[in-house]
Amino acid sequence: MLALDPICSNDVLKYLNEKIVLLQEEICAVKFNFHVILPLSLQEMSNINSTVHSYGLQSIADIKLNDISSTNAVVINHLANMGFDAVIVNPIIGMDELSQVIESSHHYNLGVITVIYMSHAGAREGFGLNVVDDSLISNPLYQRLLQYSECCDVDGIIVGGTKVDIINRISSKKKLPIYSPGLGVQGGDPKTAAKAGTDYFIIGRSIIQSKDSLKAARLFRKQINSLKQG
Residue 4 confidence (pLDDT): 95
CATH number at residue 49: 3.20.20.70
More confident residue, 159 or 6: 159
- 160-194 residue pLDDT tens: 999 999 999 998 877 899 999 999 888 889 999 99
Cα(31)–Cα(196) distance, integer angstroms: 22
201 touches 191 (CB < 8 A): no
Torsion of CA 74, 80, 85, 87, to 10 degrees: -10
Q: Which domain holds residue 144?
A: 2-229
The pLDDT value given to residue 197: 94
Q: State how many domains the chain has.
A: 1
For residue range 76-119, list pLDDT tens digits in order.
Answer: 999 999 999 999 999 999 999 999 999 999 999 999 999 999 99
Q: What confidence tier does 229 reach under pLDDT thresholds 50, 70, 90? A: low
